[in-house]
Chain A
Amino acid sequence: MNWFYLRFSAFSDSVFRLLKQPITSILHILGMGIALSIPMGCYMLLDGADQFSRKLNNTSQLNVFITADSSDETIKIAEKQLTELFEGEINFIDQDEGLKELSKNSEFSDLIKNLDTNPIPHLFVLTPQDNSAEKLTDIARTIESWSFVEEVSFDAQWAVKLESFINLSKILVMLVVLLIGLGFVATIFTTIQLQITIRKDEIEVARLVGATGRFIRRPFLYYGFIQGLLGGLCAVLIIFLGLKFGLTAMQPMLEPLGFVILAPNLITLSSPLVLSIGLSLLGAWLSSNNHLKKIDC
């Protein structure tokens, strides 16, 4: 009971000190929430974009064009080599079939009919089962090196670039989170320093009447914890509202592209909260340790 009362007194004292300066506290907490919600929200959007690019990769195909004058023997060798190299569905479209398809779907059908020779190359369409973009790029490079291959087109190459861009953006966002985290620690460090300066007399008296280091440090750690908790909750609220209302408005535009932002789960939403509390406690602990030593009596 005494254990609880001691901590409750320190906690309520910290809450009281936050409430004593309501405007400053609200602005501080709001600043923390906004600072944390921007990179965390960006990270969640990038996660959605990442899934989108993976989806594109999964539905991608490799088109292998074989030179038009290739013999049947060459085509058989090509099919054998492709089967050995590639896991997935392989469809062959010979040049006559290709020309028929082209004349059906092209406005130049009359022009095609008058051609003396068929200029369309033979085509192998490769549909991967579960290949990553990187692996498909490697396969495309190998096939390209074969002498009877005219061209390999990889229709998801831009998706690979998008994935690389998303990965790079994620690293940049993580760097921003790291910098904001350092800013967080620095802000709480100075806030606690200010609190210690304001309460210098009280700390001196408490030491004189037998307060331990832990007793004196406790309200400052609670102060940091409460600020971190409220700042984190503010960030969660901003992210939640942003995703809920912002994405509802954008969804009709994104849906045709297959871009779907998943509703944030508990782990995703709690990460800014945990980060905020952790960083605030670190700042409060560093500051109280550093500044309380200077009040020696």
Chain B
Amino acid sequence: MIETENLSKRYPGGHQALKDVSISIQEGEMVFLTGHSGAGKSTLMKLIGGIEKATNGSVTINGTKLSSLNRSALPYLRRNFGFVFQDHKLLIDRSVFHNVALPLLISGFSKSEIMTRVRAALDKVGLLEKESFNPLTLSGGEQQRLCIARAVVNKPAILLADEPTGNLDPGYAADIVAMFRAFNRVGVTVVIATHDPAMIQGLGARIIELKQGELQA
């Protein structure tokens, strides 16, 4: 489902963030990308999601090479992904409901479908009662759950989460991990970048370790 081949990324200024990374993630798999800060986890996530372009090598999603896609096709590819960010990237000028509704509006769903799906996603993450709240009034854990609801509302095939428990206390972090596990059980491919060993323990998921931009054996 997700394949990278000799993937490298060098940023302007010469910093080599990734070097010859080749990985393969199967459909329905749950994978952790681990490594210290600066190991290249976030860069690899961005390259997989088509947020940044690789300097060398290739990323293939469901048989489609990202480098072969033109700019106008990229938005349609991104609709297969659900993104969860450490900093949530929530829109503070609209309600919880409207934050979650955004991907559906973009994909052209009808108003009634949007209502149904948003409420179902908010129910899954336990925020249904707070649908009219402003995201700023939510706690850190609730904001992360809101971010997850937005990521899954479109029923994506792949969920990419970059340090999803980075700023959360252990109780909230365990809730978030459990949610990812539940999505994986229903067939969603889940890729989580984390430097938190506690998050990985006991889940039995595959671990891909990066060190200074290179894949560790």
At the interface, yes or no: B26 with Cβ under 8 Å from chain A? Answer: no
B108 in contact with A205 (CB, 8 Å): no
Evaluate whether A201 and B111 lie within 8 angstroms (CB atoms) in the complex, with A209-B78, A215-B106 already known: no
Evaluate whether A205 and B102 lie within 8 angstroms (CB atoms) in the complex, with A210-B76, A210-B79, A212-B72 already known: yes
Total A-B Cβ pairs within 8 A: 56
**How many residues of A are counted as interface, with CB atoms below 8 angstroms from the partner's CB atoms?**
20
Contacts of B216 in A (CB 8 A): none
9-residue interface stretch from A1-9, A123-131, A146-154, A155-163:
A1-9
Dominant SS at the A interface?
Answer: helix
A206 in contact with B110 (CB, 8 Å): no
Which one of B71, B93, B102 contacts A209 once the chains associate, using CB atoms below 8 Å? B102
Between-chain CB contacts (< 8 Å), 8 pairs: A201-B91, A205-B89, A208-B51, A209-B106, A210-B79, A210-B106, A213-B72, A215-B75
CA distance in complex: A92, B115 (Å) = 92
A2, A3, A201, A215 pick with most chain B CB within 10 angstroms: A2
Taken residue by residue from 8 to 31, chain B's Cβ proximity to chain A (1 for < 8 Å, 0 otherwise) reads as 000000000000000000000000
At the interface, yes or no: A249 with Cβ under 8 Å from chain B? Answer: no
At the interface, yes or no: A297 with Cβ under 8 Å from chain B? Answer: yes
B49: nearest chain-A partner, CB-CB: A208
Ordered nearest first, which 8 A-B pairs have the shortest CB separation? A210-B79, A209-B103, A210-B78, A212-B75, A211-B106, A210-B75, A2-B108, A2-B110
A5: nearest chain-B partner, CB-CB: B111
At the interface, yes or no: B4 with Cβ under 8 Å from chain A? Answer: no
A297: nearest chain-B partner, CB-CB: B51
Shortest distance between the CB of B95 and any CB in chain A (Å): 13
B91 in contact with A209 (CB, 8 Å): no
Shortest distance between the CB of A42 and any CB in chain B (Å): 43
Contacts of A212 in B (CB 8 A): 72, 75-76, 106
Shortest distance between the CB of B154 and any CB in chain A (Å): 7
B73: nearest chain-A partner, CB-CB: A212
B91 in contact with A2 (CB, 8 Å): no
CA distance in complex: A78, B159 (Å) = 102
Q: How large is the interface on B (under 10, 10 to 19, 20 to 34, 35 or more residues)?
A: 20 to 34
Shortest distance between the CB of A222 and any CB in chain B (Å): 15
Which one of B71, B76, B106, B111 contacts A206 once the chains associate, using CB atoms below 8 Å? B106
B75 in contact with A205 (CB, 8 Å): no
A6 in contact with B72 (CB, 8 Å): no
Contacts of B72 in A (CB 8 A): 212-213
CA distance in complex: A2, B104 (Å) = 11
CA distance in complex: A212, B75 (Å) = 6
Shortest distance between the CB of A7 and any CB in chain B (Å): 11
Contacts of A202 in B (CB 8 A): 91, 93
Residues of B45-77 contacting chain A, CB below 8 A: 49, 51, 71-72, 75-77
Residues of B82-124 contacting chain A, CB below 8 A: 83, 89, 91, 93, 102-103, 105-111
At the interface, yes or no: A204 with Cβ under 8 Å from chain B? Answer: yes
A2-B110, A210-B107, A215-B75 known; 17 new pairs, CB 8 Å cut-off, are A5-B110, A6-B108, A204-B89, A207-B78, A208-B49, A208-B78, A208-B89, A209-B78, A209-B102, A209-B103, A209-B154, A210-B77, A210-B78, A210-B106, A210-B154, A212-B76, A215-B106
Contacts of A3 in B (CB 8 A): 108
CA distance in complex: A213, B72 (Å) = 8
A6 in contact with B91 (CB, 8 Å): no
CA distance in complex: A206, B154 (Å) = 13
Contacts of A204 in B (CB 8 A): 89
B78 in contact with A6 (CB, 8 Å): no
CA distance in complex: A204, B49 (Å) = 14
CA distance in complex: A213, B83 (Å) = 19
CA distance in complex: A290, B162 (Å) = 31
CA distance in complex: A9, B114 (Å) = 13
Residues of A204-254 contacting chain B, CB below 8 A: 204-213, 215
Shortest distance between the CB of A279 and any CB in chain B (Å): 28
CA distance in complex: A211, B91 (Å) = 15
